[in-house]
Amino acid sequence: MADEINELAQSYGWPVVYEADRDFDKAKGREVNWGVTKQVVLGYLESHISNDCCIVAVGHDPELAERVMRQMDDDLQDEIEDVSDLLRAITSEDNPQRLAQALVRVGFGAPRDFDQEFFEAFRKAARQNDEYRVRDIAVSSIAYVEWREFKPLLIEIKADDPEEQVRARAAIVLRAYEAAGM
């Protein structure tokens, strides 16, 4: 999908300002940023876990970033997964591998504003799933959602998840939340 978004960005005259390819050893997917203006960047993120992607517009001009996202929503409407389908995927999936992939998609596509149903689905996956790798991916995916309501959950996970890897991931996401001012 990066190529399709690149074509869109180029049609708007937005140059690539950053690009990094997958690094499986460092658990990173593909990332591309286009400079909309000096104040706003359109970013593309692709998960190494699920091969799903998302786009975000960020910068020092929130109104322009919001307009860019609305334009992308219009331009890519046939490519965007419905929010209700995302929620259904993490509340009804029992297979750990497919649940992990769904959690990444939901992290990318969750509503911008807090949603109790999504929160509960993430909480259940991050705290109650028997498979530690699912819990780890749930915690990782929370980093993309950025709801303040997740902070107490992350603190709990950091303090008492039975797996060191999951506790360490919660600490990393907490630091990212703090760096973002949350």
139 band by pLDDT with thresholds 50, 70 and 90: very high
pLDDT tens readout for residues 58-112 = 889 989 999 998 899 889 888 777 888 888 888 888 899 989 888 988 888 888 8
Q: What is the pTM of this model?
A: 0.74
DSSP structure string for the chain: -HHHHHHHHHHTT--EEEEE--BGGGTB--EEEEESSSSEEEEEEE-TTT--EEEEEEES-HHHHHHHHHHHHHHTTTTSPPHHHHHHHHHH--SHHHHHHHHHHHHHHS-SS--HHHHHHHHHHHHH-S-HHHHHHHHHHHHHH--TTHHHHHHHHHHH-S-HHHHHHHHHHHHHHHHTT-
Q: What is the share, in percent, of the chain residues with pLDDT greater than 70? A: 94
Determine the pLDDT at residue 47.
73
Residue 8 CA to residue 12 CA, distance in Å, equals 6
What is the residue type of 120?
Answer: E
Determine the pLDDT at residue 26.
52
Higher pLDDT, 155 or 80: 155
Residue 109 CA to residue 68 CA, distance in Å, equals 16
As a whole number, mean pLDDT of residues 104-125 equals 90
Determine the pLDDT at residue 28.
59
pLDDT tens readout for residues 30-41 = 888 999 999 999
As a whole number, mean pLDDT of residues 11-39 equals 82
